[in-house]
Chain A
């Protein structure tokens, strides 16, 4: 009996060896690293649904991109870098066109690998800020904005409200962040800004393990009384922070979150009391767009989505859709450039680098007013695009104020310096050999 079990086990292990599945030649393989499990699932699920549903909608409505079906496959990472690397190894051999790690930790791991394996990494508004330097990181893209743009934009908005750079002197700005690669990414820029503008930066790290227990951090915040709070949170950290902020009666209109702290569930945790909580955004909120109607018709109503109908087209869902739109447009651009319909990862890299989403194209996609036009180049893989602020009205996010630009002149030289430092500490870093098709 036990022997039989042993034999069965051996056979099972044997089948594993032959289980590496080859990709089909007439498909566009887009793996999605998602996390529907674990402490970050609260943020991960809407993103995963949005990304999945947009690509599925293209398959259902248009039969793919220029007639080639997209093969969408999710790989569960649980926001765990180790599992993310495993996912990367798995999709690498299967002809993946582009990787979207959806975790700054995983992005940092795959950046050095991507240039060796020749697979582009699209870390949309997350990951390594310095990766915007296309000549140093030809295989990494972080449009439409880097974290440093985000930090700069928040400070820009605060400066505007305070009435000029002069008024910033002596102000206290608190920075509460997830103590991981993600939360720390913005610190160098904030420190630089604090030096330049003369405000005091107070740091409140939240360890990943204890992100649902932030009482001590908020106790310190109550004691320090910062004039503004800036948050770099993700997963279960966001709703906890919003709740704690309402508990100590922190003025919510002075509490800013980066775009990743802007989930509907995040703000809803504070309920009515969280009214005024503000986060950055770079795409439209709500469901009043033609393409969202298409997703509803072709995917959600057809039962091909996992999304909870009540949470359809919420803020993070739309973020996922926006991300998938970038992937799809990158593929389309690559097809245009190469004249092929079935492209490979190298073509995809060129496609992303030459991404140029115009006003007309947005209209064509039914995304007018949902996103701003964007353009990338060989030197600039981020674009440092305009962002705007959304405000929580107690029930949903509302646009507050106009689109504005982060302080690009200040961020760009710093990014350049950071990229040089990265190269120095990761020597020998490969020189860019990929041709530039921009000009």
Chain B
């Protein structure tokens, strides 16, 4: 009744090919947009700093992994390290060019990550599946080793950590560093994530994205039809690593404020892999769902359980969150391998025929 596309006629190719062809979807997106802009004015700093900003950043990282794993079918366990490459290159760039706007540097640092990603993507031309996962795992360990063992990367800091300096932009607004406002950082992250997501959406529904999906579904058939595996696979690695790199740079500059190499450990790679699996392989909106779920669950548990009068220890919350996430991953792999994104589209289909379902 509310969500129905009957009566909406597409009279031009442009309207037929738009990202949201249904009017209700467009209205829905507008509402989400308004909420996203309104949140900082009503929510607390904690909500912005510890929930919204990292959620958006991790969603971008999940999109990055989803490009590689969900769209191009190449399993990767090196996401955390690729994020690290972005973070460390952004740190080096801002040390060398302190006057350049940090947002430009964040977007540039993704290029370094993309380069490294392509190099570690080369084996994917010969090896597939689980074996490829092992080579990306090697990338994870090698890059982590670099972050610890190459002091030039962290400017020879005695503690081995990188600390985000204060950077201003757009007039004199403090963008990074401890004095930066939660709202500023949220809007910067929101802007970058929305723009990049739109760009990615257009890549995946165009020629390049279709090549990735062909490679994923059957690489031999794709090759016979004229898709070059070399360019398709390496471009998937490049785009994926670029997104992860940008996410990693934002993770440090707009969320953590400082980082030890351990911030980019294998744990982070797995966390993002879980987001992609739970959210839905091969779906952009699923990446958002997955990120919101994995990042939000421990925080929700910690806030909701005591509010309900259940008094449990801080460590038990973590145990519960770990168990719930583990159980849910198994549940989703069995019942709904396409994850939360699939539930979402099922919900929309149900809504389309509501209140008179048939079939």
Q: Mark B227-249, 1 if CB is under 8 A from A, else 0.
A: 00000000000000000000000
Decide yes or no: A19 and B307 within 8 Å by CB, A82-B263, A184-B158 being known contacts.
yes
Q: Does any Cβ of B come within 8 Å of A74's Cβ?
A: yes
Q: How far is the CB of A262 from chain B (nearest CB, A)?
A: 23
Chain A contact surface mostly: helix
Within 8 A of B (CB), among A1-42: 2-3, 5-6, 12-13, 15-17, 19-21, 34-37
| Contact (Cβ within 8 A) B163 A108 | yes
Decide yes or no: A85 and B260 within 8 Å by CB, A2-B350, A108-B163 being known contacts.
no
| Contact (Cβ within 8 A) B163 A3 | no
Contacts of A34 in B (CB 8 A): 314-315
Inter-chain pairs besides A34-B315, A36-B314, A113-B257, 15 sampled, C-beta below 8 Å: A6-B344, A6-B347, A13-B296, A21-B303, A81-B262, A86-B50, A108-B161, A108-B258, A113-B178, A180-B260, A181-B160, A306-B313, A418-B158, A425-B157, A425-B165
Q: Does any Cβ of A come within 8 Å of B318's Cβ?
A: yes
Q: How far is the CB of A235 from chain B (nearest CB, A)?
A: 13
Contacts of B158 in A (CB 8 A): 184-185, 187-188, 418
Task: List the one stretch of A89-97, A163-171, A402-410 in contact with chain B.
Answer: A89-97
Q: Does any Cβ of A come within 8 Å of B150's Cβ?
A: no
Report the tally of A-B residue pairs with Cβ distances under 8 A. Answer: 136
Task: List the one stretch of B8-16, B19-27, B40-48, B202-210 in contact with chain A.
Answer: B40-48
B53 closest partner in A (C-beta): A89
| Cα distance A78–B178 in the bound complex, in angstroms | 23
| Contact (Cβ within 8 A) A82 B256 | yes
| Cα distance A89–B52 in the bound complex, in angstroms | 12
B182 closest partner in A (C-beta): A89
Contacts of A373 in B (CB 8 A): none
Q: Does any Cβ of B come within 8 Å of A213's Cβ?
A: no
| Cα distance A34–B304 in the bound complex, in angstroms | 20
B interface residues with partner A (beta carbon < 8 Å):
43-47, 49-51, 148, 155, 157-161, 163, 165-166, 177-179, 255-260, 262-263, 265-267, 292, 296, 299-300, 303-304, 307, 313-315, 317-319, 343-344, 346-347, 350-351
Partner of A75, one of B49, B161, B314, B344: B314
Q: Does any Cβ of B come within 8 Å of A76's Cβ?
A: yes
Q: Does any Cβ of B come within 8 Å of A263's Cβ?
A: no
| Contact (Cβ within 8 A) B262 A92 | no
| Contact (Cβ within 8 A) A112 B313 | no
| Cα distance A426–B49 in the bound complex, in angstroms | 22
- Which range contains the number of A residues in contact with the other chain? 35 or more
Within 8 A of B (CB), among A127-147: 128
| Contact (Cβ within 8 A) A19 B303 | yes
Partner of A89, one of B49, B258, B259, B292: B49
Q: How far is the CB of A59 from chain B (nearest CB, A)?
A: 16
| Contact (Cβ within 8 A) A76 B317 | yes
Question: Can you report 26 residue pairs joining A to B where beta carbons are below 8 Å apart?
Answer: A2-B346, A15-B304, A17-B43, A19-B300, A19-B303, A19-B307, A20-B44, A36-B313, A36-B314, A37-B315, A76-B315, A76-B318, A78-B318, A89-B45, A89-B50, A90-B46, A93-B45, A93-B46, A104-B159, A105-B260, A109-B258, A116-B178, A116-B179, A179-B148, A184-B158, A427-B166
B267 closest partner in A (C-beta): A80
Sort A-B residue pairs by CB-CB distance and give the 8 closest, nearest first. A19-B303, A36-B315, A89-B50, A112-B178, A76-B314, A181-B159, A74-B314, A116-B178
| Cα distance A427–B258 in the bound complex, in angstroms | 15
| Contact (Cβ within 8 A) A89 B262 | no
| Contact (Cβ within 8 A) A37 B259 | no
Q: How far is the CB of A153 from chain B (nearest CB, A)?
A: 20
